[in-house]
Amino acid sequence: MRSVRLVLDTNVVASGLFWNGAPAQLLDAAFADEIELFTSRRLLAELTRILHRPKFMKLIATTGLSIEELVLGYADLAIIVDPLPIAPTVLADPDDDHVLACAVVAKVDLIVSGDAHLLDLKSYRQIPIVSPSVALARLTTA
């Protein structure tokens, strides 16, 4: 049986690294080999930028890890793909297009995001775009 394939938006990854809840449970499912996660170098670079924000500094300090170690840990957990450029889709936030491009090349089952720009699309090339809690619910009923 093929594992469920997901691409997590960087906001979901960051949430999963530091807080309990659906994003953390998705990361746990990947650690347990219950799902497959996909990312790209561009999304890993975005994760690195996000983690440098002041609001994450105290949280990162509590882990005992550096930003680089956190990002490399996620990179080891996910499968890194090399997406092709897509036509501009999320005009209000062009960085979101990288999530979509990653999803297409990885042939994922779900795009998981907490970003309203992506969630408002509902799907991209027939790939559903859902919140972490909806993704988790789908996984537990599958």
> CATH no. for residue 126?
3.40.50.1010
Residue 116: which domain range? Answer: 4-141
What's the pLDDT at 140? Answer: 84
| DSSP letter for each residue of 2-57 | PPEEEEE-HHHHHHHHHS-SHHHHHHHHHHTTSEEEEEEHHHHHHHHHHHTSHHHH
Per-residue pLDDT of the chain in tens (142 residues, 90 and over written 9): 468 999 999 999 999 999 999 999 999 999 999 999 999 999 999 999 999 999 999 999 999 999 999 999 999 999 999 999 999 999 899 899 999 999 999 999 999 999 999 999 999 999 999 999 999 999 988 6
Pairwise CA distance, residues 70 & 64, whole Å: 10
Whole-prediction pTM value? 0.95
Query: Quick one: tokens of 101?
Result: 């491009």
Domain count, the chain: 1
Residues 61-90 have pLDDT tens digits of 999 999 999 999 999 999 999 999 999 999
What's the pLDDT at 40? Answer: 98
What's the pLDDT at 3? Answer: 87
What's the pLDDT at 7? Answer: 98
What's the pLDDT at 142? Answer: 66
